[in-house]
Every structure is written in structure tokens, then in C-alpha cells.
Amino acid sequence: MTNTPDLPAFAWPQMEPGWVWLCGAGPGDPGLLTLHAANALRQADVVIYDALVQEAILDWAPQAEHVYAGKRGGKPSAKQRDISLQLVDLARAGKKVLRLKGGDPFVFGRGGEEAQTLIQHDVPVRIIPGISAGIGGLAYAGIPVTHRDVNQSVTFVTGHDQSGNTPGSLDWDSISKGSQVLVIYMGMKHIAQIATKLLDAGRGSDEPVAVVTSATTSDQRVLETTLGAMVDDIAKSGLQPPAIICVGKSVLMRQVLDWQGMALGQRPRNLDPLGRGRPAETA
């Protein structure tokens, strides 16, 4: 690679043989890799990557063997424990192992389990956080996960649990009441159930919702809808996972903050979408 940015002098950690670095690759755009991720990609002997890691990112590790460990295009899914044990074997063979996962490895990514298995097998690990899709993906759609006029808390929720169902253990009533903004990962499969649970718990059917698919990639699409209409609108739109679903008024901020639309020459739709009638910042 000739055009990767040169990293300035810094105490960059060296990958040692026999180590596994568990690293977040961000939501898609390679520019959202961290510098620690770039440093790791340059040193690894082998990169074990998931379905949500953009292939372009592997170009950053031309010297390494690239091993796919995810579910895509009908290929059978590698079992989680098998992946972890493969990491153990590679480490024990003296490789510098980079385990690359979409977003942040510790956010709905089972990174904690993988790291735990490695440590249980005496394999030393380093954790490199990444930009999670629920934060960075929404930012690319012009939606701030917190905005002072909207929310003082945000809840990240997974749309299905290990059994593949909507998480039965989740108290949707408390989640609905306790947090003005919900950011739902893996929600597309059970979207109808999720909508019903939120409406039953008292969230308004006119509440703004955004669905952002393939966020930060060139295939990014954004659907703006409402809690009452989202199931039909998603079906009509033909949107496919991966998707982040944001429920709450912060979605309205996209009317002024859709910076990607503006970069294409669109005007902001509404400079004051929350109707505050005052400058955004008064002090």
C-alpha cells in the first residue's frame, strides 16, 4: 500500500506472536477505523473478520492471511465457540492474530465472550474499541444520539437474543418509559413485534423513527417514518439489514443535520425542526 496515511511517531504497540488483538472495524467507512486498528492491520499475520467488516478494510492488511468467520450469502455460519478456539490455535501456533469485528467489539458483538475464552486458554489479548453503528451510523444519517433539547439518556437495545426471538428478558415497558431515545440493533427481523411492544408500552404512534441501513458505506439508505407506520414503510421500502433503528425525537434533527444530503447540494429541510424558536445555542 502506498497511499495509507503514515502514522506519526507515537508509542505504537507492537503485535507479538501468540497474541490476539480483538479490534473494532467501525460501521463500514474505512476512514472510521481507529489508528490502533490501522496499526494492527499493518502488523497482523492473520485477520479473522466478520460479515459486517467491509472487504475494503482488508486491503489495509495485504501481508496478512484473511479468514472469513461470519454468515453471508447463504454460507453456513461459523459457530462462535469454533471461532474462539480457532483464535486460540492460531495464537498457540505463534501467529500475530487480529480478530476484526464490525463496529465496536464489546457492543452486541460477543467480543466479551471471545476475549474470555482466549484468557481462559492463557492467550494474551488486547482490546481495540471501534465506532459502534448505533452512534457512528446515526451520525452519518445526521442524527445525534443525544441532543440537549431531546434526551438525557439513550438506550441501546438488541432486537433479538440468542434464541433468535425478540429478547424475552427485556422489560420493554421500562425501556419505553425510561429512555427518550432508543437505538435498536438487529431489529429488522422482529420489527413488527418490537413496534407492538413499544406502542403497547405507551410510545406514540406518531413518534419519529429512522431506519439506517448499511450506514457509512456507499450503500447507506435512510428511511424516515413513525412508530405507527414503520412496519409497513420498511416492507414497502425493501430495505435490508444491517440496520440501525432509532426511535425518538432526535430523528427530527436530520431535517437540519443531513450533512450528506447537503454535500450533494440539498438545502436543509428545516433549520429548527424541534420548533424551539431560538438560536440553537444561546450561551
Q: Which residues bind ligand SAH (CB under 6 A)?
A: 27-28, 52, 101-104, 107-109, 132-133, 137, 185-186, 212-216, 241-244
Nearer to ligand SAH, 194 or 215 (CB): 215
- Find out whether 103 and 25 touch, Cβ atoms under 8 Å: yes
d(CA 143, CA 210): 9
Among the options 29, 50, 104, 258, which is catalytic? Answer: 50
Catalytic residue (choose from 1, 59, 71, 171): 71
Residue whose CB is less far from ligand SAH, 104 or 207: 104
Q: Is 71 a catalytic residue?
A: yes
Residues whose CB is less than 8 angstroms from the CB of residue 220 and which lie 6 or more positions away in sequence, other chains included: 28, 140, 141, 212, 213, 214, 260
Instruction: Please report how close the Cβ of residue 209 comes to ligand SAH at its closest, in angstroms.
Output: 14
* Spatial distance between the Cα atoms of 248 and 27, rounded to a whole number of angstroms: 21
Q: Least distance in Å: CB of 125 to ligand SAH?
A: 17
Residue 52 or 181: the one with the smaller Cβ distance to ligand SAH is: 52
CB atoms within 10 A of CB 280: 12
Residue whose C-beta lies closest to ligand SAH? 103
Q: Residue 277 CB, nearest distance to ligand SAH (Å)?
A: 34
Q: How far apart are the first and last CA of the chain?
A: 47
We find the least distance from the C-beta atom of residue 270 to ligand SAH, in angstroms, to be: 25
In Å, how far are 20, 57, 77, 113 from 81, measured between CA atoms? 15, 25, 12, 9
50 is catalytic: yes
- For ligand SAH, the closer CB: 95 or 224: 224
> Which member of 29, 95, 101, 186 is catalytic?
186
How far is the C-alpha of 182 from the C-alpha of 206, rounded, in Å? 15
Q: Which of 163, 166, 174 is nearest to 245 (CA)?
A: 166
List active site positions: 50, 71, 186
